[in-house]
Amino acid sequence: DMRIAAFLDARTCTIYLDTSGEALFKRGWRLETGDAPLRENLAAGLLRVSGWKPGMVLFDPMCGSGTILAEAAQMVAGIPPGARREFAFEKFHDFDADAWREIKGSVKPNPIPTEPTIFGSDISGDMVVMTRNNLNKAGILFEVPLKQIEAQQVQAPAPAGIMLTNPPYGERIGVRGDSSMEGDDLAKAFFSEFSATLKQRFAGWSVFLFTADLGLPKMLRLKESRKTPFFNGALECRLFRFDMVAGFNRRPEAVPKTEVEVAPKTDK
């Protein structure tokens, strides 16, 4: 029941006992996942970098299995990371179960919010159900409104807030549109429509998109106000921030050379 690691060099052997067991990014609440889930600790880090804090409005319109929503909801509830998981040290012979129980019991939950501040949606009904199940497993007792809807059709749940989402890229985008379209065309169509939704319905919001597609701002035709590098495992990613102020964040559109008009020369 205990994992032992040994490190050898020319003269010594160092032995370690594994006190954690499962990797620490596993919080113990995730029952189900989608095709490309974020790690729980990465989702928590994205929330911190975005500047979101409990009490602020948060919306994930492509929530998948709900990792971002569950991490945010646990922060609102005051549930410490890993509070609902087991650790390898609990199997040690000298483990003091009473002391550990007392330590965990000393954590007092925050008051349950009276109004929803965390919202989520996804095009897939299965993902919405999965998110609901994961929120329940995470110990969330307050309402987190969820809706099955395409990201291009969403409405802002409040006049201002933070949108944080991990949009589909690569093969994942095929489940969100016409599978008969080529990947590049499908991505362009999807992000063009999503960009229009952001411009028309989310003025006053700060939008954070986490992606491995470094050309995402170009597809959205939006100018990012900040980009923060991350690694999702070995995959290099960016967290792009877009401040949705109507009329001020659109990328200038390049004019094709074939459309440039040149005034004819006149003899003087």
pLDDT of 252 strictly over 80: no
DSSP state of 28: S
Residue 255: is its pLDDT beyond 70?
Answer: no
For residue 75, is pLDDT > 50? yes
Count the alpha carbons within 13 Å of 89 in the hemisphere toward its beta carbon.
9
* Greater model confidence, 103 or 256: 103
Percent of the chain with pLDDT over 90: 63
Q: Answer whether residue 233 is part of any domain.
A: yes
> In the structure, what pLDDT confidence band is assigned to residue 256 with cuts at 50, 70 and 90?
very low
Domain membership of residue 266 (yes or no) is: no
Instruction: Please tell me the predicted confidence (pLDDT) of residue 243.
Output: 96
* Residue-number span of the structural domain to which 159 is assigned: 32-85+111-247
In a domain, 141, yes or no: yes
Residue 68 lies in a domain: yes
Residue 253, in any domain of the structure: no
CA distance 58 to 221: 23
Structure tokens at 121: 């949606």
Asked if residue 4 is part of any domain, the answer here is no
Say what the pLDDT of residue 33 is: 65
Q: pLDDT value at position 160?
A: 96
Residue 32 pLDDT > 90, yes or no?
no
Percent of the chain at pLDDT above 70? 84
pLDDT above 80 (res 258): no
The answer to whether the CB of 196 falls within 8 A of the CB of 151 is: no
Task: Give the separation between CA 142 and CA 261, rounded to whole angstroms.
Answer: 60
Is 97 among the domain residues? no
254 belongs to a structural domain = no
What is residue 170's predicted lDDT score, i.e. its pLDDT? 54
Averaged pLDDT for residues 51-64? 97
Give me the number of domains the chain comprises. Answer: 1
Q: Is the confidence at residue 199, as pLDDT, over 90?
A: yes
pLDDT of 219 higher than 60: yes
Q: Say if residue 161's pLDDT is above 60.
A: yes
State residue 34's pLDDT score.
Answer: 62
* CATH code for position 66: 3.40.50.150
Confidence of residue 182 (pLDDT cuts 50, 70, 90): low
CA pair distance 31, 134, nearest whole angstrom: 6
Q: Give pLDDT, residue 14.
A: 96
Q: What is the DSSP string of 158-187?
A: SSS-EEEE----GGGGGGGS-TTS-HHHHH
The predicted pLDDT at position 177 comes to 47
Of 234 and 211, the structure prediction assigns the larger pLDDT to: 211
Calculate mean pLDDT across residues 12-31: 86
pLDDT mean across residues, the chain:
86
> What pLDDT score was predicted for residue 181?
47
